Structure 1
Amino acid sequence: MGSIGTPPNPENGSASTSPPPASNCDGDERKPQQATIGMPPNAETTPPTETEASKKRKASILPLEVGTRVMCRWRDCKYHPVKVIERRRMHFGGPNDYEYYVHYTEFNRRLDEWVKLEQLDLNSVETVVDEKVEDKVTSLKMTRHQKRKIDETHVEVPLDAYEICRNIGLVLGYWRSDAGHEELDAASLREHEEFTKVKNIATIELGRYEIETWYFSPFPPEYNDSLKLYFCEFCLNFMKRKEQLQRHMKKCDLKHPPGDEIYRSGTLSMFEVDGKKNKVYGQNLCYLAKLFLDHKTLYYDVDLFLFYILCECDDRGCHMVGYFSKEKHSEESYNLACILTLPPYQRKGYGKFLIAFSYELSKKEGKVGTPERPLSDLGLLSYRGYWTRVLLDILKKHKGNISIKELSDMTAIKAEDILTTLQSLELIQYRKGQHVICADPKVLDRHLKAAGRGGLEVDVSKLIWTPYKEQG
């Protein structure tokens, strides 16, 4: 599942979500007694004495190998454990002058970044390189004729990386959670992971926002040398330079996503975009979305999908805040395949709104729906919250007996999702060959409070939509 306006997903068992906001690292906020290797020598930053043994040790470990673990000073001025994922030689510098792409092991991969040597505490270096990384690098050297260029000012994604992404479905594709690699052999999967481990685009400009990206996205090879891309917020065409975008905006006639406006309530609007009728837009949306989705991928032609683009509208136009998409025809009753709220618009209830909207479409179709499986942990958490709020609200108000099938008919939620949700809340028991819902009002109130607010509500009276199968 995509990002739904919730905090980064912690890794390695850490209870934290992300380091504190960036701040100025001057003054006494630095970690005490940290080495300041690579900084200009002066009385304030360089220790008065350093043993020859220490100097020799530091010289012997440079440049750091891929897989090295070390402490790194982040933007909060504190040191955090990192793992070196990649390295590149500085354009002007000596043989050991590198920048390092690091993963903060306490936090989500979206915080991975390039850092300079002076941010690393070389006294904390763990000299044993991760065996798995070492084995992977060795195997890749043996299986590829073209060595990846890691010693340039910009890390280049070579053409064979683009072809690999194309062959396994990254290019012009569609992103699902933790699925789609079953057909790949181990070597292909290793190669895919190798080429997608480093963010290729650092920032994008979209409308009035400059947004730091989170993950790799397989843009065409001609964009390999670009650290920043400029997107037209209406047609989603992307360019390398600001002046190109400015020229484009003078000629672009769109002031909203292409397709049909199917919902308008106040300043919120929803557009339905047919991937077959608007192929370039669908492809560009996939490129954009992959910058913020860290999921294993499966290729599907955008022709097979409908995209639902949520916008905030003003006198300048309709500005995309997020989207979800669904297959035009799903034998598994999937009513949502991918979902994303763009970072500047997260924590405003838009993710919950998108989930609720997908179920309102299912009701209009006269079908039950469910998100595409398998769900990520974050996706399951978001959906479980939605299912809990909807189901318990009905149970609180309903008098008399009610069956799971009746709940499904009322909500368009698949019976299996209702059953697992109520079981997780310990509100269902199995008696005399059937499931029985046992709900005390106080227990319902407690669970509803734990589920949190429902976000923005969908005003069904403002939804004007014809299901795809009925369109001419």
Structure 2
Amino acid sequence: MARDRRREDGAGPSHTEYEVGSRVSCKATFDNTYHAADVIERKTDPKSSKLRYYVHYLEFDKRLDEWVGQERVASIAKVASADALHRVASGGGSGELADQKMTRRLKRQYTEILHVPAALEELPPIDQHLEKEHQEKTKVKNIQGVELGRHEMDTWYYSPYPEPYASCHKLFLCEYTLKYFRKKKTLLRHLAKCTLRHPAGDEIYRSPPPPANDPTVVGGAVTNPPISMFEVDGKKSKVYCQNLCLLSKLFLDHKTLYYDVDPFLFYVLCEKDAQGYHIVGYFSKEKNSAEGNNLACILTLPPYQRKGYGRFLIAFSYELSKKEGRVGSPERPLSDLGAVSYRSYWTREILDVLREHKASLSIKDISDKTAIRTDDVVKTLESLSLIKYWKGDHIISVTQKIVEEHLKTIATQKNIEIDLNRLHWAPYRQEPPKK
């Protein structure tokens, strides 16, 4: 699987070539430490004539896959343990112990955030086939970065942008139309002519602006800007919604909706300032879901993560369900970050209801008050050890003291409240066919 390639002039060290499928030790960009990795693809750099490898780090989610130069790749056989791998990366010395602690902290941080998906053999046969097809098609990330408004973002996954855009190292996007360009100057020419300063849909929610004496207003600038939600019909604004799907695929591994956007509504969350409405994230929803799902896909863009926006989007989807007069649940499977956000949302909502009603509620009561499906209520209560199975029924077993203790553990989570008086929305009604 590997072979030596020496310089033609006979001078200098030898370089080992690694074939696709080889397992190697690679110095990762995200922590500058060697990790076990598989070679997914390789190519020759036209400028330096050196080999570059696209590698997947075995310990981490594929969003950290990357192209690396051959100087960052070593034979895994040369290293006997993870400690030795670290010594190769750090060069030893008096700071080695501190470096080891930093590596352990980084590994813990990444494994907390980047959950590994279910193993292929755990899936049913038909799903295994589809998963293999998906993995083969998306194994190499095609676009490495995007510039969207004032943010530059490293991408996480493959997205099926059309050629020649799919072959670009970096794309430039208009944050109002999500139209994509290969060059910055082309984007600037587009922006000079573009009059749109918000998503292509109807604004259905706008939070109140902060008062002048608000602590988030510093020197006239708002550090916690007002937010708005726009409802975009996939049938009426097809190009915008397709562009949104292509953008989101860069950050969602198992998103499959790209072009058939007609059956969906898209709810786009924006921050507002003097320049316009800047996209933060979105969720999509089927106009008529046979399974009763109130959300199909959800994404908060990387610069806005860990600010409470993911929970806001989830809460917004349930507020729409309440207006429709029915319970809802997200479409499965959830992404890793989506699953974490939903568990957090369900936990807080259910605990709040139990506290308000002194824990004297049935599962059906909780579902009716929160619009959370009973299956999700049961799983959340089980995760909190607040439910027992007795004589064929689930019985809630909880006291107010236990509820308060659980609420204390999540008290520091960021939570953006929804002012329902500012939500102007009516449930979607299917238009009758034209005669």
Per the TM superposition, whether the score is higher than 0.5 is: yes
2:18 to 53, 56, 64: 64
One-letter amino acid of the structure 1 residue matched with residue 375 of structure 2: E
Partner residue, 2:55: 102
Q: Give the superposed CA RMSD.
A: 3.0
- Is 2:25 the partner of 1:83? no
Whole-Å separation in 2 of the counterparts to 1:247 and 1:379: 36
Partner residue, 2:415: 455
2:176 to 231, 234, 243: 234
Partner residue, 1:7: none
Q: For 1:9-40, what per-residue CA distance to the aligned partner results, in whole angstroms no more than 9, with x for missing partners? A: xxxxxxxxxxxxxxxxxxxxxxxxxxxx999x
* TM-score normalized by the length of structure 1: 0.71
Partner residue, 1:30: none
Residues 319-328 or 380-389, more deviating: 380-389
Is the contact made by 1:389 and 1:454 (CA closer than 8 Å) also made in structure 2?
no
Whole-Å separation in 2 of the counterparts to 1:92 and 1:387: 52
One-letter amino acid of the structure 2 residue matched with residue 240 of structure 1: R
Shift of 1:190: 4.3
Q: For 1:373-398, what per-residue CA distance to the aligned partner results, in whole angstroms no more than 9, with x for missing partners? A: 23345433321221111111111121
Partner residue, 2:230: 271
Aligned residues: 366
SS state at 1:233 partner: coil
1:353 to 289, 297, 312: 312
Distance 1:225-1:434 versus aligned 2 partners, 3 A rule: closer
Q: For 1:299-347, what per-residue CA distance to the aligned partner results, in whole angstroms no more than 9, with x for missing partners? A: 7720000000000000000000000010000121100110000001111
Shift of 1:446: 2.7
Partner residue, 1:444: 403
Distance 1:189-1:418 versus aligned 2 partners, 3 A rule: closer
Where relative contact order (Cα < 8 A, 6+ residues apart) is larger, the structure is: 1
One-letter amino acid of the structure 1 residue matched with residue 289 of structure 2: S
Distance 1:189-1:431 versus aligned 2 partners, 3 A rule: closer
Shift of 1:416: 1.8
Where does 1:268-417 land on structure 2 (aligned, <5 Å)?
268-295=227-254, 297=256, 301-399=260-358, 401-417=360-376
Is the contact made by 1:261 and 1:272 (CA closer than 8 Å) also made in structure 2?
yes
Is the contact made by 1:321 and 1:341 (CA closer than 8 Å) also made in structure 2?
yes
Whole-Å separation in 2 of the counterparts to 1:470 and 1:190: 37
Whole-Å separation in 2 of the counterparts to 1:443 and 1:221: 57
Whole-Å separation in 2 of the counterparts to 1:38 and 1:324: 53
Partner residue, 2:93: none
SS state at 2:67 partner: strand
Distance 1:65-1:466 versus aligned 2 partners, 3 A rule: same
Whole-Å separation in 1 of the counterparts to 2:269 and 2:426: 18
Partner residue, 2:87: none
Distance 1:183-1:254 versus aligned 2 partners, 3 A rule: farther
One-letter amino acid of the structure 1 residue matched with residue 324 of structure 2: E
Whole-Å separation in 2 of the counterparts to 1:459 and 1:416: 28
Shift of 1:362: 0.5
Identity %: 56
Shift of 1:73: 2.2
Structure 1 unaligned spans of 5+: 1-36, 40-48, 127-176
Residues 453-462 or 304-313, more deviating: 453-462
Shift of 1:438: 1.7
Where does 1:117-266 land on structure 2 (aligned, <5 Å)?
117-122=70-75, 124=77, 186=129, 190-265=132-207, 266=209
Is the contact made by 1:326 and 1:336 (CA closer than 8 Å) also made in structure 2?
yes
Is the contact made by 2:249 and 2:255 (CA closer than 8 Å) also made in structure 1?
no
Shift of 1:189: 5.7
Whole-Å separation in 2 of the counterparts to 1:208 and 1:312: 13
Whole-Å separation in 2 of the counterparts to 1:193 and 1:315: 43
Is the contact made by 1:181 and 1:298 (CA closer than 8 Å) also made in structure 2?
no
Q: For 1:222-244, what per-residue CA distance to the aligned partner results, in whole angstroms no more than 9, with x for missing partners? A: 22431111100001000111111
